[in-house]
Amino acid sequence: MSGEGAVKSQLILRPEFDRVPVDASSVGEVVRPLSWLQRLMDNALFRRGAILAALALIWQLYALWLHNSLLFPTLTDTIGVMVHDFADGTLLQRTEASLEVLLMGYAAGVALAAVLTTLAVSTRLGDDILSTLTAIFNPLPAIALLPLALIWFGLGTPSLIFVLVHGVLWAIALNTSSGFRSVPETLRMSGRNYGLSGVRYVVTILMPAAFPSILTGLKIGWAFAWRTLIAAELVFGVSSRSGGLGWYIFEAREELNTSSVFAGLLTVIIIGLLVESVLFRAIEARTVEKWGMQR
Amino acid sequence: MAQADQLVLEARGVTLQYKTPQHLVTATYRVDLEVFEGDRFVILGPSGCGKSTLLKAIGGFMAPIEGDIFLRGRKVVKPGPDRMMVFQEFEQLMPWKTALGNVLFPMHATGRFKGKEARERALSVLSKVGLSKFANSYPHMLSGGMKMRVAIARAMAMEPDILLMDEPFAALDALTRRRMQEDLLELWDQLRFTVLFVTHSIEEAILVGSRILVLSPHPGRVRAELNSSYVHGQPVDDASFGLLSKRIHKLVFEGETEAAKPGVHA
Ligand SMILES: Nc1ncnc2c1ncn2[C@@H]1O[C@H](COP(=O)(O)OP(=O)(O)OP(=O)(O)O)[C@@H](O)[C@H]1O
Ligand SMILES: [Mg+2]
């Protein structure tokens, strides 16, 4: 009976106790500053900056080692061309032209998506129309519509805006309506409890509740738009005197000016990064993260 | 009759059904109930007997197949802020608004209270539920019990004709639930609002309620209506509490087996 097994399965008797909890009044006041290294490592911007710096270094070293500026110019050369072209205004003008068209197309796409999704949540017909249209057009690459746009609108900004709207609209509409669908039933019911309906209901309840999905849609739409625009400009930037960044890259290639091609590409990348990691990050931090809807 | 003016909510022969692709589910069958001013009216019944469905119909989210619901003599046809709902789930709060923002929202949305008056009301209700310090916190920073308090404060601030609560404390742990039940009673002592409270816990029904409507198992039909205000203020281990609890237990569970069969029609 007094074997090992019996001892193990026995409960160990311990005395009971009852005491006043230790004084915790000082917990709140004690502030232990994090070391500067810890703070730096906690900073996402710093971490991503470090990765970017590492990539830049690899670029530079590889280009130096390759030593063929026609194929692969160094980062410093590229930046030199960029600075020069920004200073003399060519690159700045191109960038402005691209961004202007982009903003128009993006805004039009967002507005259309808002109208369509609002219709879709208000009526069943609207919902059917939106899901059918999305199923048809979402898989269609925006650039594939360019020839059609050229026939309809000719060379110029309207054609670009047409393809941009197509690129932006479906991604945003798809994400927004799936976001609307996943709004919890109790939240919907409490919204309707206050007598909200129609557009007011969509704007004050559904939109904020679906904001994480809407934001994802906006981000995807932005990336589609930027990509589509540069591609479209590469195809027919020729037309207007004030071509965009795509046209700048195209021109540089014609002249076998590889550094300029890289400078154009780098500008495209930098603008993309800025919008993604500065603009959208700021929106995220002020909305979905603050509300605890996304981490 | 003086009583007639005090009749807040009335349901007459309310039958509620759900249509699913495969079935027609009858949730409640010919339920009658009358709630008077200042009642703490509890609807008690086993899980799945149609309590939430009945509350949804009273809230105006669902129309009865048969029978009518009247709020102060007017027929209920759609949701409205004269009946404020408090649900079991925490998601009923708007995560993008602070506790104060959540309480203010229905006031502004309905236009019933505005500006400074609304703010003062909201702050005073929040302090009544003990959340003054957390007025500016977002829901995700609050504990479950605190979120429930915000939901209750939000509903109460609107001064509805009737407060509709669907198992508001069911998602809370036992200790917090007890606290909340006591706090609700305390609030009622101060403000004397009319509340319709749904629960499947007999203990909670007796603790919270002044009158208890017992529904039969699915489909929910009226089984009994009991007074329980005389137990109010007695400790839970008091004999009267135990007796009432036993009586309700019998009402709820006797004959459960035959009653559970009908309700699903092909
Ligand atoms: N959306 C729905 N569609 C179809 N049937 C439903 C739906 N909601 C509830 N029911 C059915 O209606 C009946 C009553 O459901 P209800 O949610 O009202 O029960 P309850 O009394 O609130 O239960 P509980 O105490 O578990 O919350 C159940 O048989 C359930 O299966
Ligand atoms: Mg229920």
Q: Compute the half-sphere exposure of residue A64: CA atoms within 13 Å on the CB side of its CA.
A: 8
Mutate one of B56, B62, B105 to test the A interface: name it (highest A CB count within 10 A). B105
Instruction: Name chain B contacts of A209, Cβ cutoff 8 Å.
Output: 94-96
**Of B80, B140, B141, Cβ closest to residue A195:** B80
Residue B261 above 50 pLDDT? Answer: no
- Phi, then psi, of A103 in degrees rounded to 5: -65, -40
Q: What is the pLDDT of residues A70-86, one digit of tens each?
A: 899 999 999 999 999 99
Residue with CA at minimum distance from ligand 1 atom 12 = B27
Q: What is the pLDDT of residues B90-132, one digit of tens each?
A: 889 999 999 999 999 999 999 999 999 999 999 999 999 999 9
Residue B237 above 80 pLDDT? Answer: no
Q: What is the pLDDT of residues A166-222, one digit of tens each?
A: 999 999 999 999 999 999 999 999 999 999 988 899 999 999 999 999 999 999 999
Q: Of the candidates A150, A201, A145, A149, which has an alpha carbon nearest to the alpha carbon of residue A170?
A: A145
For the CA of B56, the closest atom of ligand 1 is: 18
Mutate one of A183, A190, A290 to test the B interface: name it (highest B CB count within 10 A). A190
Distance from CA of B22 to the nearest CA of A (A): 22
Which ipTM was obtained for this model? 0.86
pLDDT for the residue A240: 56
A228 contact partners, CB below 8 Å, separation of at least 6: A142, A143, A163, A164, A167
**B101 in contact with chain A, both atoms CB, cutoff 8 A:** no
Q: How far is CA B145 from the centre of its chain?
A: 17
**Of B81, B94, B106, Cβ closest to residue A208:** B94
B45 contact partners, CB below 8 Å, separation of at least 6: B51, B200, B214, B215, B216, B217, B220, B223, B252
DSSP 8-state secondary structure symbol assigned to residue A47: H
Apex B200 CA angle, B6 and B174, nearest 5? 110
CATH fold for the domain made of A73-286: MetI-like fold (1.10.3720)
- Please give the helix or strand (H or E) that residue A64 lies within, else none: helix A44-66
Q: What percent of chain A has pLDDT over 70?
A: 94
Distance from CA of B8 to the nearest CA of A (A): 18
Local confidence band at A132 (pLDDT 50, 70, 90 cut-offs): very high
**pTM check: above 0.90:** no
**Of A194, A208, A287, Cβ closest to residue B109:** A194
Interchain contact, A193 vs B87, CB within 8 Å:
no
pLDDT for the residue B260: 47
Q: What is the pLDDT of residues B167-219, one digit of tens each?
A: 999 988 999 899 999 999 999 999 899 999 999 999 999 999 999 999 999 89
Q: Where are the domains of chain A?
A: 41-70, 73-286
Comparing A38-52, B50-64, B70-84, which segment has the lowest mean pLDDT?
A: A38-52
Distance CA B125, CA B131 (A): 9
